[in-house]
Amino acid sequence: MFTVLTRQPCEQSGLKAFSRTPVIIALVALLLSVMVIVTVTVIQTHQKEVHLPGLKYGIVLDAGSSRTTVYVYQWPAEKENDTGVVSQTYKCNVKGPGISSYGNTPQDAPKAFEDCMQKVQEQIPAHLHKSTSVYLGATAGMRLLRLQNEAAANEVLASIRNFFQSQPFDFRGAQIISGQEEGIYGWITANYLMGNFLEKDLWHMWVHPNGAETTGALDLGGASTQISFAVGKTVELNTSDIVQVTLYGYMYALYTRSFQCYGRNEAEKRFLAILLQNSTTKTDVINPCYPRDYTTSFTEGHIFDSPCTKDLNPGSYDPNGNITFKGTGDPLLCRMKVASLVAFKACHEQEVSCFDGIYQPEVKGSFVAFAGFFYTASALNLSGSFSLNTFNSSTWNFCSQDWSQLPQLLPRFDEVYARSYCFSAHYVYHLLVSGYKFTQDTWPQIHFKKEVGNSSIAWSLGYMLNLTNQIPAEMPLIHLPMQPSAFLGILAFSTGVALLSLVSLVCLYVSSGDRQHSQHVLDHTVDSE
């Protein structure tokens, strides 16, 4: 007798169907819950909407020796490493001369500001007027007035303060900044605009550029000139020449020097005084830097009523007396005579850079030359970087023209500037080559620029950047896609489903293993019989 034990196909299929269904259900539930957890978490953490607290504004008045310029700056209310990311949004040139010219009539100084300040009010939202700070910084023109008549300088500033205290803005003061400060702020502006402090990465986040080199700054104003550039820690200098500057979390060792009376306007006054000294008459004094066929007159007071010409003062002179200068358009003689303006005093060591008895480290790297440097190069139809030979040939060509030809050479013709561009070109040459020791090889590293983008290269932007360190930052308001309670509820529910599904899978696996073991024992028993 024998018994045939076989499992029917229907029984096998029925058993498999019975065990597979709960497994599939558990797997689907587990996968769905995990997907929900991941999706909700990613959305909540990475797709959050950031509502910035808005913009802040600042106003800086650059009160130079020849004119005043009003700049409006703005920056996000949250800051980058304690320094605001500032941009220029508006610029207004105040009509009339610089505020130092109001020494005899200080009450008239604020009147020139009225038109520009009215326009500024229209540029800034009215509800932000009270929180917008206003700063006036006066430079070399007022520094000279203070040397000449401190009481008059104080009265000019007091009159300006009274005017701005009646404005709807938060007036923070009118002060005379030092030449060193002017140089530092000019260097900060140049490097900020050139992108040497911050750049945006692939995620549009502001970061410090890796390996970025800073650029030196050359500023030529009406009454002073400044040179500033970063130096290594090994440079040995008088501590007053080195300044530590911290911006965006990084520290820079900066050499900066300001030379009073070496601005373009004051240098020309000294030049005219020297020509007068060497002349036997006060009429038709020969000026080789003025164009041929050009004649003009100045009062003696225009030349000698300045601290910068006191060593050339004839002693007794008539402030209202006239001196006539006649141009000859001689570039070679002009260069020779302008050389006397860059004074040389002995330094202790012969092999070092020395300007006016002041030791400076060797100029290295790139430089940006702005203000008077740029306008002089622009008159020669030059901009950006170019060789020293190109500068000299352009200078010679310009200085060889007679007066009647200049309107065709200059896009914007103004007699006061046009007559002096030849002098300015030769003066820039001696200032950079004889004074700062730029050479045929290093000259092309100078970039003559007026602005970058829509922002002017001027000390005022660096001033604003520095001041933003004093202004508290506002935290951005973060709006999440869902409320935290809802997010936690979904996360907890999905996690519970995932855990329950995982436990079910484990139980099904264990149960399936037990059935397989029991069947294996049964099969073995039958076979044995």
Tens of pLDDT, residue by residue over 366-391, are 999 999 999 999 999 999 999 999 99
Across 136-145, 290-299, 499-508, least confident range: 499-508
Residues 17 and 88 in one domain: no
Residues 473 and 485 in one domain: no
In a domain, residue 251? The reply is: no
Mention every residue, 6+ apart, whose C-beta is less than 8 A from residue 153: 100, 103, 142, 145, 146, 176
How many domains is the chain partitioned into structurally?
Answer: 3
Tens of pLDDT, residue by residue over 477-494, are 444 555 666 656 666 776
CATH at 75: 3.30.420.40
In a domain, residue 389? The reply is: yes
Residues 202 and 325 in one domain: no
In a domain, residue 187? The reply is: yes
In a domain, residue 516? The reply is: yes
Residues 315 and 352 in one domain: yes
pLDDT band at 500; cut points 50, 70, 90: confident
Residues 203 and 61 in one domain: yes
pLDDT band at 8; cut points 50, 70, 90: very low
Active site residue 182: yes
Tens of pLDDT, residue by residue over 226-255, are 999 998 765 655 567 788 888 877 888 899
Q: Exactly one of 182, 266, 268, 300 is catalytic; name it.
A: 182
Residues 278 and 358 in one domain: yes
Pairwise pLDDT comparison (350 vs 191), residue with the higher score: 191
Q: How far is CA 285 from the centre of its chain?
A: 44
Residues 485 and 521 in one domain: yes
Residues 388 and 513 in one domain: no
Tens of pLDDT, residue by residue over 335-349, are 999 999 986 555 555
In a domain, residue 262? The reply is: no
Residue 350 has pLDDT above 70, yes or no: no
What integer pLDDT is reported at residue 213 of this predicted model?
87
CA-nearest of 108, 115, 50, 143 to 478 is 50
Residues 113 and 164 in one domain: yes
Rounded-to-integer distance, Cα 283 and Cα 276, Å: 10
Q: Tell me which long-range contacts 415-419 makes (C-beta under 8 A, separation of at least 24).
A: 417/375, 417/379, 418/291, 419/290, 419/291, 419/294, 419/296, 419/327
Indicate the residue among 402, 427, 448 that finishes a domain: 448
In a domain, residue 194? The reply is: yes
In a domain, residue 248? The reply is: no
Residues 329 and 441 in one domain: yes
Pairwise pLDDT comparison (268 vs 465), residue with the higher score: 268
Please say whether the beta carbons of 320 and 299 come within 8 A: yes
- Alpha-carbon torsion, ordered 468, 474, 475, 480, to 10 deg: -120
Residue 344: what are its φ and ψ, rounded to 5°? Answer: -125, 120
In a domain, residue 324? The reply is: yes
Tens of pLDDT, residue by residue over 68-122, are 999 999 988 776 666 667 889 999 999 999 999 999 999 999 999 999 999 999 9
Please say whether the beta carbons of 157 and 421 come within 8 A: no
477: number of Cβ within 10 Å: 10
Mean pLDDT of the chain: 83
Residues 142 and 89 in one domain: yes
Rounded-to-integer distance, Cα 435 and Cα 340, Å: 11
Domain span at residue 94?
55-210+452-477
